[in-house]
Structure 1
Amino acid sequence: MNKILILGAGQLGSRHLQGALQSGLPLTITVVDPSSESLNIAKQRAEQVSIFNAKTTVSYELNLPKSESFDICIISTSSPVRAKVTANLLANNKVRYIIFEKILFQVLSEYAAVETLLQQHNVTAWVNCPRRLYPSYQQIKDMLCTQEVLSMKVSGSGWGMACNSIHFIDLFSYLCSEVELKATENNLDTILLESKRSGFYELTGRVKFMIGDHSLELVCRDSDEVTIDVSISCNSKTIAINEVRGVIKVDDCSTELELKHKVKYQSELTGLNIDELLLTDNSSLTPFKISCQLHTPMIELFLEHINKVLNKELLACPIT
């Protein structure tokens, strides 16, 4: 049996569990969370889906296991404890593969520390930024000319700039097939919004990043209404994606094409991720080292801005 460990049974962890139950392979799944309430929610959500493989079993634990071996561990805890949880996991167990949730870590030093830890324990890891798995974005990547300079803009309201920018940064890197990200402009608003989660902040305003000559602009306004418009342009074409309405419009100067964009929920993806890893020893998700390169300029920019607004010298960027 393939052994799967899910650390963190909250909103996202419970969706990972639903997805894992859709795997075609027989799995022994262990879900760990120090909160009985979170485990109960995970149990309820597991009962909402059909188990694809009749041999798959699920157990729920309050404490991290010890002296066990796991094929895949999904770490979906909150960002402040993720590095510590990873260290405790690897100090007491053997793990082949890890899928990390994002944002990865709040503290910049933890990126190198966890990378070293993974190397020491011979663990291969990826980060769950799944837009690169969406068929619509894979189709868009095939449309783009690799020799042309790419300009990408994400604009809208209420989409959670602090916690979700990394999704679009990752998509940007995927589309231009490069990773050397630099923050070039900071026009974030000086009012910090309190996140739905206590102790965390949300951001609004405008920022810009570059990878080589390729540019990414992120704009988010404060609103209860969620709108997300993605525009991608190069010399030969312009592509507009309305993520909420699920519409893609492609203009290549001579013709216009309209396609459908479908958001893939985590409960639809995790089983596919598990199957791919177990069957091929590889994943289409973002490799951990690449994701660290994409995370750190963003964390540096956000942390500097938050410290300036709060007039503090925080080491941990309070976003999740």
Structure 2
Amino acid sequence: MVAGQSSNFKSNPEILIIGAGSLGSRHLQGLGKIKNKFNITVLDPNNSALSKSKLRYKEIAKSNPYHTVNFVNSLDLIRNSADLAIIATTADIRFKVIKSLLKQCFTKFLILEKVVFQTINDFKVILNLLDKKGIKAWVNCPRRVMPFFIQLKERTCKSSRVEILVEGSNWGLACNAIHFIDLLSFLSGQLKVDVNESMLEKKIFKSKRKGFIELGGTLTATTNRGDFLKLIDQRNDNLNFKTIISFDNIVIEIDQQNGLVKEYLKGESENYNQEEYSLPLQSDLTGCQVIEILNNNDPGLTSLHESSGFHIPLIQGINQHLSTIMQKEIKICPIT
């Protein structure tokens, strides 16, 4: 349980969560772990998703009944203002949801799940709208707020080049690529990223989420100074999912499935130090991020403006790949 947080914001701030699915319900649990009192509204047109979200919240609320939580299935049922809104919908409807929300509800801050949007124009329109309204928005690529990667950045920030290799089978390369592009930027300190899709398989796979697609093969990304990201998804194999981060003469090998991390010098992989490794749950992150934002502090997440610089080359690369396969121009990138 997260302890009570010091706060400078008004009492009982209004928090809105749109999208009560897997991630939305975890954000709700995260708010439930904070002892500041919130008025929370969870919105989803799917009553089944609302019911599951309510059950997940009760797992937390039993021992922490601080908040007022309302579950609604229509935008017409929300208040006309919110201090912060978390948009945890799928990517295909997020643009429409944000535009509809801002027509009838004033909010100061947004946290957006990713992939944020499916078209380049959506980024341009929403960024312009948020600038006009003075709304700050962040994208939830959470590795950059996790202690392991924060400590790692203290070491990589002095390096002239960072390399990341992510490899596994059926791990969702298309929908998860943005996580690792964001991580490359975070560890290297570089904001300009180019994406190369030429080594992806000439095949389209069904995503576990209905209406979206997945890809296999290899996708790479580079920064202007030469930092390098290589993402490999061997769809027809059974590879263990690993992330290998190299800088200077040091190699960090993360075995996420087995909860282990090794560190060794390049060329000396047999002489390694090994520790336990785990990714914090989203429900352990959301509360602290919301408190930081409400206190007008930087939550450590990527701003929407900065993240658009990572999303856009990814969308362009995948659309180019799909256009080649389908023999027609693709402008809407069907990933989430």
Quickly name the TM-score band, shorter chain normalised.
over 0.9
Partner of 1:289: 305
CA 145–92 in structure 1, closer or farther in 2 if over 3 Å, else same = closer
Q: What's the C-alpha RMSD, in Å, of the aligned pairs? A: 1.9
Instruction: Tell me, in whole angstroms, the C-alpha distance in 2 between the residues paired with 1:268 and 1:7.
Output: 19
Q: 1:248 aligned to 221, 241, 261, which one?
A: 261
Partner of 1:235: 248
Q: Which amino acid aligns with 2:253?
A: A
Q: Kindly indicate whether the alpha-carbon contact (under 8 Å) linking 1:95 and 1:123 is maintained by their aligned counterparts in 2.
A: yes
Instruction: Tell me, in whole angstroms, the C-alpha distance in 2 between the residues paired with 1:311 and 1:317.
Output: 15
- Most deviating of 236-245 and 47-56: 47-56
Q: Which runs of 5+ in 2 are unaligned?
A: 1-11
| 1:153 maps to 2:137 | no
Instruction: Tell me, in whole angstroms, the C-alpha distance in 1 between the residues paired with 2:142 and 2:304.
Output: 13
* CA displacement at 1:59 relative to structure 2: 0.1
Partner of 1:316: 332
| 1:17 maps to 2:31 | no
CA 37–224 in structure 1, closer or farther in 2 if over 3 Å, else same = farther
Q: 1:87 aligned to 99, 102, 105, which one?
A: 99
Count how many residue pairs are aligned between Structure 1 and Structure 2: 320
Partner of 1:54: 65
Partner of 1:257: 273
1:222-241 superposed Cα distances (whole Å, 9 cap, x missing partner): 15957321111122311111
Q: Which amino acid aligns with 1:77?
A: T
Q: How does 1:1-320 map to 2 (within 5 A)?
A: 1-50=12-61, 53-65=64-76, 68-212=80-224, 213-222=226-235, 227-252=240-265, 256-320=272-336
Instruction: Tell me, in whole angstroms, the C-alpha distance in 2 between the residues paired with 1:312 and 1:39.
Output: 39
Q: Kindly indicate whether the alpha-carbon contact (under 8 Å) linking 2:196 and 2:317 is maintained by their aligned counterparts in 1.
A: no
CA 191–16 in structure 1, closer or farther in 2 if over 3 Å, else same = same
SS in 1 for 2:198: strand
Q: Which runs of 5+ in 1 are unaligned?
A: none
Instruction: Tell me, in whole angstroms, the C-alpha distance in 2 between the residues paired with 1:99 and 1:226.
Output: 33
SS in 2 for 1:187: coil
Instruction: Tell me, in whole angstroms, the C-alpha distance in 1 between the residues paired with 2:319 and 2:275.
Output: 38
1:43-87 superposed Cα distances (whole Å, 9 cap, x missing partner): 111112236653311001111146621111000111111011111
Q: Which amino acid aligns with 1:297?
A: P
CA 281–140 in structure 1, closer or farther in 2 if over 3 Å, else same = closer
TM-score (norm 1): 0.94
Partner of 2:9: none
Q: Which amino acid aligns with 1:229?
A: K
* CA displacement at 1:312 relative to structure 2: 2.8
Q: Kindly indicate whether the alpha-carbon contact (under 8 Å) linking 1:23 and 1:274 is maintained by their aligned counterparts in 2.
A: no
CA 203–184 in structure 1, closer or farther in 2 if over 3 Å, else same = closer
Identity of aligned residues (%): 34
* CA displacement at 1:134 relative to structure 2: 1.7
Q: Which amino acid aligns with 1:36?
A: N
Instruction: Tell me, in whole angstroms, the C-alpha distance in 1 between the residues paired with 2:222 and 2:202.
Output: 23
Q: Which amino acid aligns with 1:221?
A: Q
Q: Kindly indicate whether the alpha-carbon contact (under 8 Å) linking 1:67 and 1:93 is maintained by their aligned counterparts in 2.
A: yes
CA 223–18 in structure 1, closer or farther in 2 if over 3 Å, else same = farther
Q: Kindly indicate whether the alpha-carbon contact (under 8 Å) linking 1:238 and 1:250 is maintained by their aligned counterparts in 2.
A: yes
* CA displacement at 1:286 relative to structure 2: 1.0
SS in 2 for 1:293: helix
